Amino acid sequence: MRASVKGWEPEAPGEPDGVAGAADGALSFVVRTVNRAFARALQLRIAQSGVSMGQWFFLRALWDEDGLTQRELSHRVGMMEPTTVTAVNVMESQGLVQRVRNSDDRRKMNIFLTERGRALRDAMMPTADEINEIAIQGIDPDDLARTLDVLRRVGANLNAASSSSFGSAAIAGDGDFKD
């Protein structure tokens, strides 16, 4: 299946470069297309466990560090706090997490996995690993390492731009930042 974004088609593997650095922003389309392909593949598999894609990200964060506050969980997952509250409400009703008032600051709630929430890790993480393996089939390890390095640098550049004066700058129609 090929993705289509209003007049833009991703290049087939092995075709010469040309679109990824084009002024029309195709790099973002490629990254988004790959992200959506990962999400679709993962969602199809994790749905069998009764977990939504949104819940997956919260569970992953809690599997890494259980007992985060709602605010910390929001930051780890990159979601707004009201979205986190809604997701935690649903996961709590499903018996995946429980809220516990913070003993140091009674205003805060810490989110802890229940036994059921912890058990999902063993069932779901192999699925995520399998999808990663499918995604990198036939890709040279050096190419993969370089791709990951480049994407991390792209992310760092964008994060730096959004936290610097560029973050509040208007973007002109030609794609240049203007103060």
Give the position of tokens 């087939």: 12
**What's at 87, amino acid-wise?**
A
Q: Which residue, among 151, 125, 121, 115, has the nearest Cα to 30 in the 3D structure?
A: 151
pLDDT at 13 over 60: no
Q: Which residue, among 40, 95, 100, 33, has the nearest Cα to 70 in the 3D structure?
A: 100
What is the predicted pLDDT for the residue at 11? 53
Average pLDDT over residues 51-80: 94
pLDDT, tens only, 137-159: 999 999 999 999 999 999 999 98
Q: Where are the domains of the chain?
A: 19-49, 51-126
What is the predicted pLDDT for the residue at 17? 52
Report the Cα–Cα distance between both ends of the chain, in Å, rounded.
Answer: 41
Q: How far is CA 76 from the centre of its chain?
A: 10
Q: Which numeric CATH code is attached to 51-126?
A: 1.10.10.10
pLDDT at 162 over 90: no
CA-CA-CA-CA torsion sign (103, 107, 113, 114)? positive
pLDDT, tens only, 99-124: 999 888 888 999 999 999 999 999 89
CA-to-CA distance for 54 and 87, rounded, in angstroms? 7
